[in-house]
Structure 1
Amino acid sequence: MAFFSVIIPLYNKQHYIEDTLNSILSQSFSDFEIVIVNDGSTDNSLEKVTAFTDNRIRLFTTENRGVSAARNFAMQQASGSYFAFMDADDFWYPQHLEKLHQTITALDHLSVFTTLLEVERANGIYPANYSNLPGALIQEVDFFETSLSKTILSPYTTAIHKDVFSVIGPFNETISNGEDTEYWIRIGFHYKIGLYNAITARHTYVPGSLSNRRFDMSRFEDFNRFTEPEKSNPAAKKMIDINRFSLALKCKIHNDQANYKRLIRAIDRNNLLPKQRFLLRLPGWALTQLLRFKSYLERKNIRLTAF
């Protein structure tokens, strides 16, 4: 039995999966298996994987059911003590698993662990924008307090003990946008996080991602299920309200007034910055223009965070 089971959902990533697998197979910590679920790919992704001969790779093929179903299936097949999440188009630096193992050893009373991430964009690579990070290299942190800007957990840096899957349950297969954030929030209500406070992974820029799909609120996590537990956890309420804010802007931009109003009724405005409260008051056409301007600035290496 391996220490880590690396969980990879694979769907039409023929241009990326080789680099991803090479980054995993080059890890300094070698006690792992790789569980890949080919989620009905229609390109050459499957052929790219089968070209690898490392016996630590376990490959399964299913009909296309989405990333959550693929992750759930992979976790059900996994034999490792810890599940380390990875996407088929991202990249680990050589000591990623070693640093996770180091953190697990140092904080062995915990069950959920992560490192930090850098994000590749069209115009460069930047450290992810986290909140309230500790000074120590290895530290126990609260998920909600460290996820006000970006979630401290991600599908490229997180490892969980296999028992977490039994407690938290599977990823929600009914949503396809925000499914990972919804899972991390569920974890945050049950577990503290063991953090290795350094970058060990990179989220790769992929043109034509899910963000370019036609907006459909039914595919999004609306956070209603957290209305009760967040009442007794101010940090959770603030983090979830910030996510509601982002989703409310999408609703307004796409003229979904009913869901926009429902979301903002659930938000405590005190949890938002003044510029965020201002954005909520703007009409959809103005938000669209601001998003275009934001994209222009990012191409000039100027990043805005209000959205």
Structure 2
Amino acid sequence: MAFFSVIIPLYNKEAHIQSTLNSILNQTFTDFEIVIINDGSTDRSLEIVQSYSDQRIRLFTTENRGVSATRNLAMRKASGPYFAFIDADDFWYPQHLEKLYDTIIAFDHLSVFSTVQEIETANGVFPARHSNITSALLQEVDLFETSMTRSILAVSSLAIHRNVTETIGFFNETISNGEDTDYFIRIGFHYKIGLYNGITSRYTFVSGSLSNRAFQREHYCDFEQFWEIEKSNPAAKKVIDLNRFSLAIKCKIYGDRANYNQLVQSIDRSNLVFKQRLLLQLPAPVLVLLHRLKNYLEKKNIRLGAF
């Protein structure tokens, strides 16, 4: 039995999966298996994975069911005590699993672990920025206190003990947008995080775009499930309100006034900065223009914090 089970959902990533797999196979810590669920890919993704002969790779193919169902299936098929996640277009530096292992040994009373991630954009690579973390290389942190600017947890830098699923369950398969946010918030209410404060992974960022496809609120995280529990945790309330704000803006852009109103009513306005409170008041056409500006600036490595 391997120490880590590396969980990879795979759907139409022929341009990236080879680089991702090579980054895993080049790890300095080698006690792992790789559980890949090919989620009905229609490109060459499956063929590329099948070209590898490493016996640590376990490949399964299903009909297309979405990333949450795919991750859940991989976790159920995994044999290791720890699940290390990576998406099929992300990248690990060679010491990623070694540093996660060191963090697990240092904080053997914890069940959730992470390293720091960097983000690749069209205009370069920059480190993710988080709130309220110290300069210590190894530290025990609270998800909500450290996620006021960006979540301290990211899929491709996360490792959990398999017993976490017994407490909070698996990824919500009804969500197709923000399923990781939903899972991280559930983690935050039950677990502290063992953090290695160094960059060991890279996330490939693709800026959001507005499209003509139908916007369906039910495919996003239901933040109201946290309504009671967040009342006793101000940091959690703030982080969840920031997520409500982002979703409310999307609802207004797509003309979903009912869900916009419901989300806004749940937000404590004191958890928002002035720019965010102002954005909530702007008409949808102005928000569309600002959203396009935001995407353009992100390609230039400039992030608008208010969004």
Q: TM-score, normalised by structure 1?
A: 0.96
Write the distance in 1 (CA, Å) between the matches of 2:282 and 2:169. Answer: 39
Contact 1:118–1:127, Cα closer than 8 Å, also in 2: yes
1:27-49 Cα shifts (integer Å, max 9, x gaps): 01000000000011111110010
For structure 1, list consecutive stretches of 5 or more residues without a partner in the other structure.
none
The 3-state SS of whatever aligns with 1:227 is helix
Where do 5+ consecutive residues of structure 2 fail to align? none
- AA in 2 matched with 1:30: T
Letter in 1 for 2:98: E
Q: How far does the alpha carbon of each residue in 1:225-278 deviate from its partner, in whole angstroms, 9 at most, with x for none?
A: 100110111111010000000000001111111000000000000111111111
Q: How does 1:177-196 map to 2 (within 5 A)?
A: 177-196=177-196
Q: Kindly provide the amino acid, as one letter, of the partner of residue 169 in structure 1.
A: G
Q: SS of the counterpart of 1:298?
A: helix
* 1:145-165 Cα deviation digits (max 9, x unpaired): 111111111110000001111
CA contact 2:209–2:292 (8 Å) conserved in 1: no
Distance of 1:214 and 1:54 partners within structure 2: 42
* Distance (Å, rounded) in 1 between the aligned partners of 2:210 and 2:56: 33
Q: In the aligned structure 2, how far is the partner of 1:142 from the partner of 1:228?
A: 19
- Asked whether the 8 Å contact 1:222–1:244 carries over to 2, the reply is no
Q: Matched residue of 2:149: which SS?
A: coil
Match of 1:226, SS state, is: helix
The Cα of 1:211 is off from its aligned counterpart by 7.3
CA distance in 1, matches of 2:104, 2:289: 46
Residue in 1 aligned with 2:217? 217
* Alpha carbons of structure 1 residues 297 and 154: separation in structure 2 relative to 1, 3 Å: closer
Counterpart-to-counterpart distance in 1, 2:197 and 2:277:
32
CA-based RMSD of the aligned residues comes to: 1.4
SS at the partner of 2:165? helix
Pair 1:78-2:75 in alignment:
no
Q: Which residue of 2 aligns with 1:27?
A: 27
Match of residue 260 from structure 1: 260
Q: Which residue number corresponds to residue 120 of structure 1? A: 120
Other structure's SS at 1:148 match: coil
Q: In structure 1, the residue corresponding to 2:157 is in which secondary structure?
A: coil
The match for 2:103 is: 103
| Identical columns (%) | 66
Q: Is the 8 A contact 1:28 1:97 kept in 2?
A: yes
Structure 1: distance between partners of 2:185 and 2:300: 34
**Residues 1:227 and 1:6: Cα distance change in structure 2 (over 3 Å):** same
